[in-house]
Chains A and B, each alone.
Chain A
């Protein structure tokens, strides 16, 4: 029998406060807000005492169906495939961090752009763009009045905002902590955020797979995305996990007609990355497919609004930047400072020209990082047809709109990382892959991920 609401509330409070106490025990205390409205959490034992008190009051007043039994029942009722997906996601993320740590110790860093600590473990998440996110999370956006210099307004706000929130839990805002140590803690907060978002995304991926009739292949899709060589970025303080989570969740709820949830996730996606707004196009296509299927055009306003949510997220950030810089789409103009400018088909033709001039083997030998990114691109392009056939045009469009603009603007740059979030490819791959081919594909993927982890975390230019 379901316990009364106040018992459930006390149970919830006890668990949350217990987790908070344990977190504080491991990572130190922190303060939320500023004086006089400041909540200080500095003594873990007091917090653990509060948790114990909550539990004691609850069990004294309502001894039936005790908390530990409720928790055990909840764990047992968790579906096997969802738990397995989360376990695969989490285990692979931790493995990547372990590999990264040993790679730094043994191989050493190439040319670090910045460091927050001399301790290689503490400094581990301080890599490439993670520094920009940490900067935004700490000091917010700034503008120097020109667009030819790299500045943090090229980066969208959702991840750094959440990173700021995660930073509270790892003691970023504790008093008396040196600035660099704060930066390191913030980056670790971002890494934990990525890990958590990725595990959650894996669970959504299984649910979505089940909804589209993938059956047991739904779990395989989550395993494939965990093993993918460029899944390394889900272990970094990068936006990939959050983007994947938001995209899968928006898709999942949109297909189910849960418009509010879809819109919420959609706005998050639009606020996470520049290409997040393209999800609107994809959701609109999904709506068209739905209309064709149901042959009804009634009640379209709400679904259209939900489909527009990622675009609205992007526009919200654009408006904020207009206020800051005086220019619309300032984040897009800033891309040029990163070497991304529209080169059209000529840029792609240039890449093909390399192959023609150098030959494939020599090209790989001379530009191995481009070769790795090129392999990711080829994999994704090869998956468009199976995605279209098995899942539909909207899913294929998701790949197309996320791959082509960066390809036309920056060539193969970061193509591996970009492809890691394109979940329809992994669902379709799980569906088309013969059972006997799964283990070999996973072997290639996971071994490749080991290499990519070594490259990324030792500051080799695979970002």
Chain B
């Protein structure tokens, strides 16, 4: 029986194919968004005509197929899609994407059915509820940074955008270009809305990528049978609603889990890059350095019995990357405001100031005096955030036992410091990015309980999505 031998695809052919596909996608994007114009130094780049780009793509395709007819582009794409669908991470990607889209759908119906909280609406960019959907709470700050950069008014008692770290708005700017946020001839609020939709797409993409990392990390930890459950729990978690918003949670989760993943595998450059991204994403990103340092210590202890130790200098350098990200932003802020820690000082304008364990004392006092149900009925948002805090605290021991001290430290630092800085404010959102919670929960839950927990989480996420997107102060 004859066996067909395919000629290997030359590198230039693969390159032309990639450029062709990119050009087609760009043409569709320009057609939908109106294109954009940008200046890089003296050079000006203006892309506004989808027809020209499409024509260029067609010409490239024709030339490629005239020169090399074997394995045409459409078949390569079919094969590529087939490979992706068959890959073990395909279900992970599907869950991540569909759950995010479902949150947006729930959000839209929430806005249409019971409407925005009129007393809380901070800003509106469009009358159309769909276009205006991502315009919620802090997304406005990220949108202004993405469009106009940082500004400082010279005082710290007013809310200003220097409190927000730059990685997400920078990436949002790039994503906003794709969604038509910089298209000419469009009113500014519409452009802002488009930039925010860019932020939403960025969040969803980052969450999807992060889910793949969580899956791989769980598998690396010997929890192959529970890797899918980890991702399902992460995607269903009530406060995962923020991964469908133009918020930093998606990028922060991606950076943290990727840094952990590559660090454990001793892939230092990748870990450093992800670490710097985490440090540049949120104020608490720098704490990842501590968790990674504990990981070095754990490996050092284990190396005495099991495996070779980390190369100490390289490992510590990689562990310090999130801290370096923070220092980089602090240096920039110093040039803007004259203070290294201006981003920290301005936090007070949001009601965050160091109170130690006073919030805990206060909360316990309320519960003691008035009873739990009464406190819940008076402070429902705090109750929801406190439930998230209790969930995280309860899982610290299983995390320590199943995964190790570094993972528990990561959780503890990321809930402990915000708690003593601002009580339970936003703790639900913050716990959503603490991936060790979900890996450990998947590991300890009996199999028959995984689905009930996932479904209960997802039902509650419907509530959180409805609250957040209708401007109820669930941020």
Interface positions of A (Cβ within 8 A of B) = 80, 83-84, 87-88, 90-92, 94-96, 98-99, 102-103, 105-107, 110, 120-121, 223, 226-227, 361, 364-365, 368-369, 371-372, 435-437, 439-440, 442-444, 446-451, 453-455, 458, 460, 462
Q: Kindly list chain A residues whose C-beta atoms are within 8 Å of the C-beta of B460.
A: 95, 98-99, 450
| B472 proximal to A (CB < 8 A) | yes
| B232 proximal to A (CB < 8 A) | yes
Say whether, besides A437-B94, A440-B98, A99 and B459 are in contact (CB < 8 Å): yes
The answer on a CB contact under 8 Å between B455 and A95 is: yes
**Interface-located stretch among B101-109, B156-164, B255-263, B401-409:** B101-109
Of all chain A residues, the one with the shortest Cβ separation from B448 is A84
Interface string of B437-475 (1 = CB under 8 A from A): 000000000001101111111111111011100101010
The answer on a CB contact under 8 Å between B463 and A99 is: yes
Q: Kindly list chain B residues whose C-beta atoms are within 8 Å of the C-beta of A440.
A: 94-95, 97-99
| B114 proximal to A (CB < 8 A) | yes
Q: Kindly list chain A residues whose C-beta atoms are within 8 Å of the C-beta of B210.
A: none
Q: Kindly list chain A residues whose C-beta atoms are within 8 Å of the C-beta of B462.
A: 99, 446-451, 453-454
Q: Kindly list chain A residues whose C-beta atoms are within 8 Å of the C-beta of B129.
A: 365
Say whether, besides A106-B472, A440-B94, A447-B103, A88 and B458 are in contact (CB < 8 Å): no
| B373 proximal to A (CB < 8 A) | yes
The answer on a CB contact under 8 Å between B455 and A83 is: no
Docked complex Cα distance between A59 and B452 (Å) = 37
Say whether, besides A106-B381, A106-B467, A446 and B459 are in contact (CB < 8 Å): yes
Q: Bin chain B's interface residue count.
A: 35 or more
The answer on a CB contact under 8 Å between B102 and A448 is: yes
Q: Kindly list chain B residues whose C-beta atoms are within 8 Å of the C-beta of A102.
A: 380, 383-384, 463
Interface centre among B109, B384, B461, B467 (most CB of A within 10 A): B109
Q: Kindly list chain B residues whose C-beta atoms are within 8 Å of the C-beta of A364.
A: 112
Q: Would you list the 10 A-B pairs with minimal beta carbon distance, nearest first?
A: A450-B462, A446-B458, A91-B452, A440-B98, A95-B456, A84-B448, A368-B112, A105-B380, A443-B99, A95-B459
Docked complex Cα distance between A92 and B461 (Å) = 13
- Near A by CB (< 8 A), chain B positions 69-126 give 90-91, 94-95, 97-99, 102-103, 105-106, 109-110, 112-114
Say whether, besides A364-B112, A439-B95, A460-B114, A87 and B448 are in contact (CB < 8 Å): yes
Of all chain A residues, the one with the shortest Cβ separation from B115 is A107
Docked complex Cα distance between A84 and B450 (Å) = 9
Say whether, besides A92-B459, A443-B458, A450 and B466 are in contact (CB < 8 Å): yes
Say whether, besides A84-B451, A95-B455, A450-B106, A443 and B466 are in contact (CB < 8 Å): no
B88: min CB distance to chain A, Å: 10
Docked complex Cα distance between A334 and B90 (Å) = 53
The answer on a CB contact under 8 Å between B99 and A223 is: no
Of all chain B residues, the one with the shortest Cβ separation from A119 is B377
The answer on a CB contact under 8 Å between A439 and B114 is: no
Pairs A–B under 8 Å by Cβ, sample size 28: A84-B452, A88-B455, A91-B453, A91-B455, A92-B456, A95-B459, A99-B459, A103-B463, A105-B376, A106-B381, A106-B472, A106-B474, A227-B455, A361-B130, A368-B112, A436-B94, A439-B95, A439-B228, A443-B98, A446-B461, A446-B462, A447-B103, A447-B462, A448-B102, A450-B462, A451-B110, A453-B459, A455-B114
The answer on a CB contact under 8 Å between B109 and A446 is: no
Of all chain B residues, the one with the shortest Cβ separation from A95 is B456
Docked complex Cα distance between A92 and B460 (Å) = 10
The answer on a CB contact under 8 Å between A454 and B459 is: no
Of all chain A residues, the one with the shortest Cβ separation from B100 is A443
Of all chain B residues, the one with the shortest Cβ separation from A99 is B463
| B27 proximal to A (CB < 8 A) | no
Q: Kindly list chain B residues whose C-beta atoms are within 8 Å of the C-beta of A107.
A: 114, 466-467, 470, 472
Docked complex Cα distance between A84 and B373 (Å) = 30
The answer on a CB contact under 8 Å between A447 and B452 is: no
| B236 proximal to A (CB < 8 A) | yes
The answer on a CB contact under 8 Å between A443 and B106 is: no
| B235 proximal to A (CB < 8 A) | yes
Of all chain B residues, the one with the shortest Cβ separation from A103 is B463
Docked complex Cα distance between A358 and B134 (Å) = 25
Q: Kindly list chain A residues whose C-beta atoms are within 8 Å of the C-beta of B114.
A: 107, 110, 454-455, 458, 460
Q: Kindly list chain B residues whose C-beta atoms are within 8 Å of the C-beta of A368.
A: 109, 112-113
Say whether, besides A95-B455, A102-B380, A102-B463, A443 and B95 are in contact (CB < 8 Å): yes
Q: Kindly list chain A residues whose C-beta atoms are within 8 Å of the C-beta of B90.
A: 436
B183: min CB distance to chain A, Å: 22
Docked complex Cα distance between A55 and B359 (Å) = 49
The answer on a CB contact under 8 Å between A80 and B99 is: no
From the candidates B452, B459, B465, name the one contacting A96 in the complex (CB within 8 A).
Answer: B459
Q: Kindly list chain A residues whose C-beta atoms are within 8 Å of the C-beta of B454.
A: 442, 446
Of all chain B residues, the one with the shortest Cβ separation from A365 is B112
The answer on a CB contact under 8 Å between B106 and A80 is: no
The answer on a CB contact under 8 Å between A443 and B459 is: no
Q: Kindly list chain B residues whose C-beta atoms are within 8 Å of the C-beta of A444.
A: 98-99, 102, 105
The answer on a CB contact under 8 Å between A460 and B99 is: no
Interface centre among A88, A365, A443 (most CB of B within 10 A): A443
Q: Kindly list chain A residues whose C-beta atoms are within 8 Å of the C-beta of B458.
A: 227, 442-443, 446-447, 449-450
The answer on a CB contact under 8 Å between B99 and A88 is: no
The answer on a CB contact under 8 Å between A121 and B377 is: yes
Q: Kindly list chain A residues whose C-beta atoms are within 8 Å of the C-beta of B112.
A: 364-365, 368
A225: min CB distance to chain B, Å: 11
Q: Kindly list chain B residues whose C-beta atoms are within 8 Å of the C-beta of A110.
A: 114
Docked complex Cα distance between A226 and B452 (Å) = 9
The answer on a CB contact under 8 Å between A451 and B448 is: no
Docked complex Cα distance between A88 and B449 (Å) = 8
Q: Kindly list chain A residues whose C-beta atoms are within 8 Å of the C-beta of B110.
A: 451, 454
Q: Kindly list chain A residues whose C-beta atoms are within 8 Å of the C-beta of B467.
A: 106-107
Say whether, besides A368-B112, A439-B94, A440-B99, A446 and B377 are in contact (CB < 8 Å): no
Docked complex Cα distance between A370 and B221 (Å) = 48
Interface centre among A95, A223, A226, A364 (most CB of B within 10 A): A95
Say whether, besides A447-B461, A454-B463, A369 and B448 are in contact (CB < 8 Å): no
A171: min CB distance to chain B, Å: 18
B221: min CB distance to chain A, Å: 21
Q: Kindly list chain B residues whose C-beta atoms are within 8 Å of the C-beta of A95.
A: 455-457, 459-460
The answer on a CB contact under 8 Å between A91 and B91 is: no
The answer on a CB contact under 8 Å between A87 and B449 is: yes
The answer on a CB contact under 8 Å between B455 and A448 is: no
Interface centre among A105, A110, A372 (most CB of B within 10 A): A105
Docked complex Cα distance between A92 and B467 (Å) = 20
Of all chain A residues, the one with the shortest Cβ separation from B452 is A91
Of all chain B residues, the one with the shortest Cβ separation from A452 is B462
The answer on a CB contact under 8 Å between B452 and A105 is: no
The answer on a CB contact under 8 Å between B451 and A447 is: no
Of all chain A residues, the one with the shortest Cβ separation from B449 is A87
From the candidates A90, A96, A443, A454, name the one contacting B102 in the complex (CB within 8 A).
Answer: A443
Docked complex Cα distance between A102 and B468 (Å) = 13
Interface centre among A105, A223, A371, A439 (most CB of B within 10 A): A439
